Every structure is written in structure tokens, then in C-alpha cells.
Amino acid sequence: MATQPGKTTLLELGDTSVDVVLKDIKNVHLSVHPPTGRVRIAAPHRMDVEAIRLFAISKLGWIKRQQRKLGEQQRETPREYLERESHYVWGKRYLLSVDEADHPPSVTLRHRRMHLTVRPHADEAKRAQVMEDWYREQVKDRSVPMISDWEPKVGVSVEKCFVQRMKTRWGSCNSKARTIRLNTDLAKKPLECLEYIVVHELIHILEPTHNDRFKAMLRGLMPDWQDRRNLLNRLPVRHEDWGY
């Protein structure tokens, strides 16, 4: 296997395939991505092929456990945005009602019903976009005060928070720009899951990797972080063939 900086190369370890990319970083980063359990290693430019192979082999047990968890994770059936379809908001299940009316599209919650109002003859793609925009606003509205509350506790300040559809992560951080990104789908999970991701990404402004320092800070600030993470990963996720 030959590796070039910035280019993804495939490493085969028996029945396990690993995508390897060399980057301008100091430490090795190993991740297993939903929904299929694809494995990715980001390694420093200086690291040779054999060292990467030995590292991957040493982590095979952990990789298999993560892949098994992902394989057992419940997934949503594809959404069609039809009457009485189930949708989730902050961890609670709502039945969808669709109304066609000649005024701006909207989404409202009343009791355990989610009311989607769209223009007459709006197709599935348009209905999906209205819902996506609404979920994005929910994450924005809830995350802004959370970030303000946690910034002094973590000891950082955030320049900007973006909310967008993300295929492989619940959140991400640019430590140099001091910006964070949150997945729109967090609006479907309980609020404590959103708070966990907010704190996780704020800590990444100080410590970009998941090293011992990062874990110690997370434990100190949010002792129940593992329970929150398990709740987030246990709940149904979007039915989609996520890539990188």
C-alpha cells in the first residue's frame, strides 16, 4: 500500500477494510462511521505504512465492537411526509398531519401531532425541505443559549455556530477559527444529547483530539457524558447510506 498526503488509500486487514489518509497532524485518529461501520485512519505524514498497519491491527477488537454496535442500531424507514407518519422532536414521537394551503409553509406542534402546512401540490422533496429547515431552526434556537451557558464553564468563546445536515457526524469543530457545526438531526434527539455534543465540540476548541486531556475535561464538565452518548447512539438514526 502506497500512501500520498491528502489522498485516501485502502488498507485490507483480513475481512476489515480501512481508509487511510495522511495529514498534517501529530497523532493518529481512528474512527468507525455509521451506518455501515466503515473504518478511517488519519495518520501523520511521517508515519510509514507498516506502522499504520500495526496500529490498525492492534485496534481490530475495538473496531469490531463499534461495527457490531452500529449494525444493531435501529434505523428510520425512509420518510415520505405523509399523513400519520412518525417523526421525532427532542426525543418525543409525533404523528404527522399534512395540510395544503396557499400561504407560507410551516411546521407546528400541538399535543402529539406535528402539523406540516405546504402549498397545494407540494411534492415529497418540497415537504422534506420544509421539515429540514424547521429542524435546523430548532437546533439553532436551542443551541445558542446552551453555547452561551457553557462557554465560561469550558473557558472558550465561539465565533460562530453553524447548523447543517451532516452525513457522518453529530458535530464538528474548527479549533483555529473557533467555530462549531451541529447536525440538523440533533433536533430529533433528547435535549441532553444536543448539550453533550455542544460541550464536546467546545472542548475541541482547546483540545482538537480525543486524547487523555480531552477525556479528563469532558469527565470534569459533564460526568454523565457516556450516558448521554449512549442515548444518542441508541436512538433511531436517519435512513441514509452515509459516506465521508
Last residue of a domain, one of 37, 72, 107: 72
pLDDT at residue 3, as a whole number: 53
Whether 169 is covered by a domain: the verdict is yes
Q: In the numeric block, which cell numbers belong to residue 45? A: 505524514
Q: In the numeric block, which cell numbers belong to residue 200? A: 464536546
Whether 49 is covered by a domain: the verdict is yes
Last residue of a domain, one of 49, 72, 95: 72
Taking the mean position of all CA atoms in its chain, how far away is CA 210?
16
Whether 113 is covered by a domain: the verdict is yes
Same domain, 157 and 54: no
- Model confidence pLDDT, tens digit, residues 207-232: 988 888 999 999 999 999 999 988 88
pLDDT at residue 24, as a whole number: 84
Same domain, 193 and 229: yes
Tell whether pTM > 0.85. no
Same domain, 195 and 171: yes
Same domain, 33 and 132: no
Same domain, 97 and 214: yes
- Residues with pLDDT less than 50, the chain: 2, 239-244
pLDDT at residue 73, as a whole number: 60
Domain membership of residue 98 as a residue range: 86-234
pLDDT at residue 76, as a whole number: 60
The dihedral built from the CA positions of residue 17, 19, 22 and 26, taken in this order, carries a sign that is negative
Angle at 73 between CA 68 and CA 75, to 5 degrees: 140
Structural domain total, the chain: 2
Last residue of a domain, one of 43, 72, 101: 72
Same domain, 213 and 111: yes
Q: For residues 113 and 128, is the Cβ–Cβ distance under 8 A?
A: no
